[in-house]
Amino acid sequence: MAASLAHKLATANAHITADVVEVSEFPEMAQRYQIYGVPKTVINDAVEMEGAMPEPLFVQRVLAALDEAGEGGENAAP
């Protein structure tokens, strides 16, 4: 669910990009981001979310990360 939602957000907002990585194929990334369970979402190398969460909470956290980075968040044009 997190992967498909991230891609939907990326489609809706030009300030968002989404990549899904199979960490078992890229162990260096698993180590870099300290991934011990999935799903794990990393935003701008600064905000990390682990585990499944309701869609509204996921969207809220992504938009908050965009606002913190000065990339627009809720007010960004698609």
Return the CATH number of the domain spanning residue range 2-70.
3.40.30.10
Q: How high is the pLDDT of residue 71?
A: 62
Q: How many other β-carbons are positioned within 10 Å of the β-carbon of residue 12?
A: 11
Measuring CA to CA, how many Å separate 19 from each of 41, 72, 75? 10, 20, 23
Question: What per-residue confidence (pLDDT) applies to 77?
Answer: 42
Average pLDDT (44-58) is 89
The mean of the pLDDT values for the chain is 84
8 A C-beta contact, residue 5 and residue 55: yes
Can the peptide bond before residue 54 be classed as cis, meaning omega within 30 degrees of 0? no
For residue 4, which amino acid is it? S
Domain segments of the chain: what residues? 2-70
**Structure-model confidence comparison of residues 63 and 26, the more confident one:** 26
Whether residue 45 is predicted with pLDDT greater than 60 in this model: the reply is yes
The average pLDDT across 70-76 equals 54
- In terms of pLDDT, which residue wins out, 77 or 16? 16
